[in-house]
A and B are shown apart, each in its own frame.
Chain A
Amino acid sequence: MKKTYILGVIAIAAAIVIILNGAKDVSTYATFADAAKIEGSVKVTGELNLDEEIIFKPEIDPNVFTFHMIDSDGVSRKVVMNKPKPQDFERSESVVVTGEMRNNEFVANEILMKCPSKYKDDEIRIRAEL
């Protein structure tokens, strides 16, 4: 058999293994309800619930801050984040948290926020008018 074919077969086999294996690392964005059912880490996407307080007391523990988030089902849950509060967190439009559900609280260890960009912001900011 030609070596090129052998290489081809190996490559295809490797590709299949990689696709099957890699597919396990992928999931849809979960809701809090999904997260409660799933063992292990999931990503939940949603919006910041601004009616509830965002608590970050760096003088007590800079590693924890809590907020409430509304997931895509419209359910609001408390999120406990194990990191200092990021800059401009209050302004973020949508939030993606990675972690797991524990006793009705979502314990997260990673967060990604999407902030309103200055290009989208058609308001013209003029200092003299302030």
Chain B
Amino acid sequence: MNENIQYIGETLWPGQIGHFFIILSFISILFSIFSYWRDTKDPLTEPVRSWKFLGRVGFMTHALSVFGIIGILFYVMSQLMYEYSYVFDHCSDDLPMKYIFSAFWEGQEGSFLLWMFWHSILGFVVLKTGKKWESSVMMFVGIIEAIIASMLLGVYVELGDWIYKMGSNPTLLVRDIFDAPIFQQADYLSSLKGDGLNPLLQNYWMTIHPPTLFLGFAACTFPAAYAAAGFYTKDFKGWLTPGLKWGLFAGGILGIGILMGAAWAYEALTFGGYWAWDPVENMSLVPWIVMVAAIHTNLIAKSTGRAIKSTFIYYSLSFILILYSTYLTRSGILGDTSAHAFTEMGLEPQLIFMVAFSALVPIILYILRAGKVEVHKTEESIYSREFWMFVGALVLLFSGLIIAASTSLPVMNAIISIFNPEFEGTVIKDPIPHFNKFQIWVSVLVTILSAKTIHLRYKTKEWNTNQKKSFVIKTLIYAAIAGVLTFVTSLFIDFYHWKYVLLTACAFFTIIANSHYLVSSIGRNLKMAGSVVSHLGFAIMIIGTIASGLNEYTITNMPFAMRELVKEDNLKTVVNLIKNEKLFTKGYWLTYEGDTIIDKTRTFDIKFERENPTTKVIEETFHVYPNVLFSNDMTKVAATNPDTKHYIEKDIFVTVASLPASQIDIELAKEEEDSLKYIQYNLSVGDTIFTKDKFGILEYLTFDPKNEDFLKSESDLGLGLGIRFYDLDKEFNELIEPIVALKENLLYQYPGQINALGLKVKLNDKTFDNFFTPEDELQYEKFNVKQNKSFDYGDLKITLLGFDSEISNPNYKKEEDDIAIKGLIKVEGDGFTHVLNPIYVIRNSRPFSIKDYLPSVGLHLRLSQIDPQTETFTMQLAMDERTSQEVIIDVAEDVTRTDFLGLEAKVFPGINMFWVGASMMMMGMLLAFFYRIKQKYA
């Protein structure tokens, strides 16, 4: 970089302040950790000078610095200061303000900041409510916060020959990062334009999903920090109460965040469903599953004093898995296996350090302290609630570890290839069945456990005969009802395999058991409401998953495909719809009725008509509006957004899966146009031309074309043809109106296309010269007239009707002190009468005139002089030299049609049960959370 250049237009102070805050945030959190640690060692009694106070000062300074960095970044983004690389990478002039948040956390640095933001906010909650836990908890929170803060440092660490860039500073300038010739120019900034936000991410989900997910991530830190604090301070029981509240909060929020991702995938991203077992999805799910397991062991520990060590392990594991998932999604290691991971940016060693260090802390604590945890002499009885809850937590842990192990295959490959460079790496052949076949059994176990465990009591040792009898009878009744409901369900959906019948029956079993509990005992025990809602939700979700997953079907199978003939035809899920031509597939008549382009979005209007298979009556009509988004420079289609028709019992999900090549990419359109072979024809009105197997008749010539694109273009002058083409049998004909138009001295083509005949017709530019004569070649003649007098000009009769001072002519812009009048001049010819309005202006005592023009006869008319004394007006008239009425057209044949789209329509039965069930699951956790924070001594 040239140090001597004084760059123009740069605003450097936000970067300097931002960088200061970055360093401050790192130093202050280290200070806070140290102070809090000192406080756990020898808490001083003097409150003002205590270590605890210093710890708080450190943490608050850190939090304010984080807010400061965020504020600065938002400021430079909102001001579009492209000198900053973060702005350059994520913003653009045309980015709507409402997507500035999305642009902010699109990048890794922004999402780290979001994470730190939530840690800070939640940290304040601990400062307020932590009491004796504050110092030890905040010490552990501070450690992770310091590691994340280091990701933004962007400093170079040098050890001998080894140089490592620690972190990535978001406040750097573009010219700090890139070395390009443009930075030799002092005014480089004026030519810098941002990359903008990926159109796929210009979506309201991108505004709400990341902050919710990161709040969930941040929340998972806190139960783990409480667990660590409990083991560190040797108060093995005291942390269980606040730990549970944090656990419930983290579980609920993280779950909602994951669900939002699923909803986004389903609704907007066209991944073809809400869950695809993609590594990125899996790795946010696993910490949540482990968190749910931890909540259950925490409940056991709080009620019975057992499973304290398990709770510690589960909370720590959930937290470590969050960091591990951060590593997987941000290091680029998932590479080939995931559709939506971040790309690498050189932070891999730091990310590995983060995971390893965060794992090491709880492991060491566990080794040092586990022996001191009180051990119960007796075992849990199998009649007790805690025993089966513990089993449930174990099943969940298993479920999470299986998913994590399969998803970690790329990591294992990377590790093996360190030792064996020849190693090729392995991959899961078909992920969806692979994950499903294990998780189905997890679901069976979880449904059964969540059905029955709630009816058990803590610390039960033994049952008497009555209790045993009642348990068996209840179970049988639940099972019987569940069986009936499963049978009824089978009338509506196909199960395909007995495993799914079993799972559905188990889910109904849970619903019945929990509903019974809700009705019979909840009045007495409101504390359990959250649990019941969550478990009901889980069962409902399972049924929704089976219904929508197994019975999903495509409406748009190729109608002529014969299933048995070619195996691949089963996979053909897209049909072509030609504009305004009906197509029948699987009970629906589909019509592509039109499309509109507004800004960067092209929206299609597709009509669905459902036909009764026996009566052939149309029973329902609706429209769906899927769209495609163009890239920021409008040259190609960048994303497609489906549209969904919602019913209570199903969704119909509609996507535009393909478009004609010429409408996807401007370059392809040009390629296609270049490949056309145009043949030139000269003809006059009434003439017929013959092409290979069609013929066309020139019906008319117009100076007033009505083509919509032409009208929108606001051209100065247009010449259009009406030409009708027939196929040789005269069974089909269509009129098209190719146009050539003049706008600001440039000629524009508006070709006509007949898709059904594969014809494209352009009006040749040369035709324009046949009809319009340039101003400097016109031969003007002068005429002097008085008002209401007429004279003849060629075949035309010209009459001066009078004058008007109201002038509305686009070529005339009024200035002060103008004296302007508009002539009203009647032109009469063979069968027509027009009034022309030439304008006469005196500006700064100099006269000039603005002509009017009658294109149909080619008459140019000016008012060139006014003699007020004699009331005589001088007019100048000229005619276009129309020596020939011949037009020249270029005709191309075998043109690919452009009036169709490839449509994919899928039905997801019972999908709403998935959403309702999954939401209930999360709501239940939050319900339990609110119940417990309201209870003082819960």
Contacts and interface: CB of A to CB of B under 8 A. Distances in A.
A119 B191 contact: no
A27 B902 contact: no
Q: DSSP majority for the B interface?
A: mixed
Nearest to B182: A126
Interface in B418-464: 424-430, 433-434, 437-438
B427 A27 contact: yes
A26 interface: yes
B133 to A, nearest CB: 30
A74 interface: no
Interface in A64-123: 72, 82-85, 87, 94, 96, 98, 107, 109, 112, 114, 117-120, 122
B379 A28 contact: no
A82 B571 contact: yes
Contact of B658 (A7, A14, A84): A84
B191 A26 contact: no
A14 B398 contact: yes
A117 B900 contact: no
Contacts of B405: 22
B406 A58 contact: no
Nearest to A63: B572
B426 A82 contact: no
Given A3-B382, A126-B182, A126-B193, A26 B428 contact: yes
A2 interface: yes
A3 B861 CA distance: 107
B406 A124 contact: no
B406 A22 contact: yes
A118 B191 contact: no
A127 B427 contact: no
B191 A127 contact: yes
A65 B56 CA distance: 62
Contacts of B902: 58, 62, 84
Given A11-B394, A96-B336, A58 B576 contact: yes
Interface string B321-353: 000000000000001110100011100000000
A96 B897 CA distance: 32
A122 B178 contact: yes
B661 interface: yes
Contacts of B379: 2-4
Given A18-B438, A117-B343, A7 B191 contact: no
Contacts of A119: 343-345
B336 A98 contact: no
B429 A3 contact: no
Interface string A1-17: 01110010001001100
Contacts of A128: 190-191, 193
A129 B638 CA distance: 24
Contacts, number: 124
B398 A26 contact: no
A62 B574 contact: yes
B427 A62 contact: no
B409 interface: yes
A59 interface: yes
B391 interface: yes
Contacts of A118: 89, 195
B576 A7 contact: no
B174 interface: yes
B637 interface: yes
Contact of A58 (B382, B387, B409, B658): B658
Interface string B635-651: 01111000000000000
B351 to A, nearest CB: 15
B214 to A, nearest CB: 21
A41 B431 CA distance: 12
A83 to B, nearest CB: 8
B852 interface: no
Given A45-B336, A118-B89, A56 B661 contact: yes
Contacts of A63: 558, 571-574
Contacts of A45: 336
B642 to A, nearest CB: 14
B658 A85 contact: yes
Interface string B557-583: 010000000001001111110000000
Contacts of A82: 568, 571-572
A41 B429 contact: yes
A129 B573 contact: no
Contacts of A122: 178
B906 to A, nearest CB: 14
A112 B896 CA distance: 29
A42 interface: yes
Contacts of B339: 112
A114 B345 CA distance: 16
A25 interface: yes
B157 interface: no
B305 interface: no
B595 to A, nearest CB: 16
Contacts of B380: 3
Nearest to B413: A28
B343 A124 contact: no
A7 B445 CA distance: 14
A22 B429 CA distance: 11
A58 B425 CA distance: 36
A59 B409 contact: no
A28 B426 contact: yes
Contacts of A112: 336-337, 339
B414 interface: no
Nearest to B898: A59
B824 interface: no
B426 A26 contact: yes
B188 to A, nearest CB: 8
B660 interface: yes
A98 B429 contact: yes
A58 B335 contact: no
Among the interface residues B89, B427, B660, which one has the most CB atoms of the partner chain A within 10 A?
B427
B896 A59 contact: yes
B659 A58 contact: yes
Contact of B195 (A22, A42, A85, A125): A125
A75 B337 CA distance: 23
Residue from the set A119, A120, A124, A129 with the largest chain B CB neighbour count within 10 Å? A124
Contact of B427 (A15, A28, A114, A117): A28
Contacts of A58: 576, 658-661, 900, 902
Nearest to B336: A96
B336 A114 contact: yes
A118 B896 CA distance: 34
Contact of A59 (B192, B343, B576): B576
A129 B184 CA distance: 14
Contacts of B89: 118
A56 B657 CA distance: 13
A18 to B, nearest CB: 6
A1 B409 CA distance: 37
Given A7-B391, A41-B430, A62-B657, A29 B574 contact: no
Nearest to B108: A119
B229 to A, nearest CB: 27
Nearest to A80: B568
A29 B427 contact: yes
A7 B182 CA distance: 68
19 contacts: A4-B379, A7-B394, A14-B398, A18-B402, A26-B427, A27-B426, A29-B426, A29-B427, A58-B659, A58-B660, A58-B900, A82-B568, A85-B658, A87-B637, A87-B638, A98-B429, A109-B568, A126-B191, A126-B192
- State the 6 A-B residue pairs at the shortest beta-carbon distance, nearest first: A128-B191, A62-B902, A117-B343, A62-B658, A63-B572, A84-B658
Interface of A: 2-4, 7, 11, 14-15, 18, 21-22, 25-29, 41-43, 45, 56, 58-59, 61-63, 72, 82-85, 87, 94, 96, 98, 107, 109, 112, 114, 117-120, 122, 124-129
Given A28-B425, A126-B191, 11 more contacts: A14-B398, A27-B429, A43-B427, A62-B657, A63-B558, A82-B568, A87-B639, A98-B429, A98-B430, A114-B336, A122-B178
